[in-house]
Every structure is written in C-alpha cells, then in structure tokens.
Amino acid sequence: MITLTEENYIKAIYHLGSNGEKNVNTNAIATALETKASSVTDMIKKLSEKGYADYKKYQGVTLTDEGRRVALNIIRKHRLWEVFLVEKLNFSWDEVHEVAEHLEHIKSEKLIDELDVFLGSPSHDPHGDPIPDKAGNFKHIEKIVLAKAETGGVYKCVGVDDTSSEFLKYLDSNNIALGTIITIQHKEPYDNSVKIEFDKTEIVVSQNVAKNLYLKKV
C-alpha cells in the first residue's frame, strides 16, 4: 500500500521533472516539500525499491512508468475535486487547492470514477490545468506566459502557473479570469511590466504577474 507521504513525493517529482521524465535533484525536492535533503534521499530509496522511481547518486531521480501512473492518478483526483468544489459547492478558485491536497489521497477508484461522470468528465480544472483521464491521457494546450506574448497580439487567458491564494485574489480584484480576452499594449523594458487591455480597461501588470499568467493566441 502506498502511503500519503510517498504520494506527495511522487507528485513532486512528476511536477519538478517535466512530467516525471527529467532528472530531479534532492535539493529541489527538499525545497518543494519543505523538508531535509537527507529525508528526501531516504524516501527516494524507498520509492526505488517499490518500483516507482529510478535513482542514481549525483544524477537525481526520475519516475518509472508505474511512478508516472501513480502521479497522474493523484493529479486526476486533485483536479476533479477542484472542479467539484468550485462548480458544486461554490468555492472560489483561490480556496480549492489546499482542500484538494487532502482529498487527492482518497483511495476509492469507484468514488473518483463516479465523480468524473457526475461532473461530465471535465477536461480542465478551475485553474486551466488539464485533467488526465483514467488511463492518464490528457489534452495539451499550446500556451505561453504573458511575459512572452507579442506586443499588439490578442490572447485568451487559459491558465495560471501560480495557484496561490494571493495571486488568484489579485486576478479576481482586477477582473481577470479564464477566458478573458487580453490585448498586449506595451512591454516596458525597464522593469518588464506589461500594459494590457481587456473589457475596455487598461492596466499595467508586474513582471511577476506576467510570468504566471498563461495565454493562448486568439
């Protein structure tokens, strides 16, 4: 039986290693999970023994096919629960991540399958991230961060890289949501801030905002 802690490590390796395919060093995992590098090394060895990870000293760790399967299943549950919380329980998108962090560890496959059906098999969560199906497949969206968008270009907001409550509340306060159509008016070389226009409103967003908001060309 896989433990909750092991699941958290597997998910962290998946995200840090570009879907579990690139080597991830122990310090990166320690930082992400707010733990000691020595504890990470011990856990990675356990995951390797169980067949979830491949670990090579001084080279880092990658996930095995079984490890990626587990990671995608956790991610599927997490994102389905986020949809449920927003659509059925009226949570705002800045409230759901922490709750879903707990719900993603529920083991019942039947519950998750029924939840998927109940929600109409959504393809994306409230933050624009794709939801894997039961087989681990999901749709990729061609997207770029606002910081790399072309001046004069028209884009649709399709996701966020930062899912913190603070960032999502910032977007809410400026009426920016998934689906918002944004025109890039000007990019300031001095501080990398960006002037954008949407819904007949112009605002200047910081570099930090520009690197965390995903757009798709319209």
Same domain, 161 and 201: yes
What is the three-class DSSP state of 49? Answer: helix
Q: Is 73 within the bounds of a domain?
A: no
> Which residue is it, tokens 């705002």?
92
Same domain, 150 and 213: yes
Q: Is the pTM of this model over 0.85?
A: yes
Question: Residue 154 phi/psi, 5° resolution?
Answer: -115, 130
Q: Is 194 within the bounds of a domain?
A: yes
Q: Is 71 within the bounds of a domain?
A: no
Give pLDDT tens digits for 21-73: 789 999 999 999 999 999 999 999 999 999 999 998 888 999 999 999 999 99
Domain-terminating residue out of 112, 140, 168:
140
Q: How far apart (Å, rounded) are the C-alpha atoms in residues 86 and 119?
A: 11
Number of domains in the chain: 3
Output the six-digit token pair for 19.
Answer: 């879907």
Question: Which residue range forms the structural domain that includes residue 128?
Answer: 79-140
CATH code, domain with 38: 1.10.10.10
Same domain, 133 and 102: yes
Q: Is 72 within the bounds of a domain?
A: no
Between CA 46 and CA 167, with CA 103 as vertex, the angle to 5 degrees is 100
> 171: which residues sit within 8 A by CB, 6+ positions away?
160, 177, 213
Same domain, 155 and 184: yes
Give pLDDT tens digits for 171-203: 999 999 999 999 999 999 999 999 999 999 999
Same domain, 85 and 135: yes
Q: Roughly how many angstroms between the first and final C-alpha of the chain, as a whole number?
A: 46
Same domain, 128 and 95: yes
